[in-house]
Amino acid sequence: MPRYDFRCRSCGATFELSRPMAQANDPAACPQGHQDTVKLLSTVAVTGAAAGGAAGGAPRQAPGGGGCCGGGCCG
Ligand SMILES: [Zn+2]
């Protein structure tokens, strides 16, 4: 059963619940009983891509754009 992270906007507490995917978007009360909670992204690999600003379209080295392989020495 997947676990979902929630954050309470009333007291700021974060908590996680195990619930069926069918109920993933159901409202969840925080351990203190507050109903004003938001579901957090439960993605594990958020740190790398999000922190690196990959959304801006990071420049990638084009193959054959210089260096060793530019002159066809590799193939
Ligand atoms: Zn709360």
Tens digit of each residue's pLDDT (9 = 90 or more) over 40-53: 876 554 454 444 54
Using DSSP's 3-state secondary structure scheme, residue 51 falls into: helix
Q: State the DSSP H helix or E strand holding residue 49, giving kind and residue range, or none if neither.
A: helix 46-52
Question: What distance separates the 2 farthest-apart alpha carbons in the chain?
Answer: 67
CA of 17 to the centre of ligand 1 (A): 14
Rounded Cα distance, 28 and 14, in Å: 11
Ligand 1 centroid–CA 2 distance in Å is 22
Where does the pLDDT of residue 11 fall: very low under 50, low under 70, confident under 90, or very high at 90 and above?
A: very high
Contact between residue 13 and residue 33 where contact means Cβ atoms under 8 Å apart: no
Q: Ligand 1 centroid vs 7 CA: distance in angstroms?
A: 8
pTM: 0.53
CA 64 to chain centre: 33
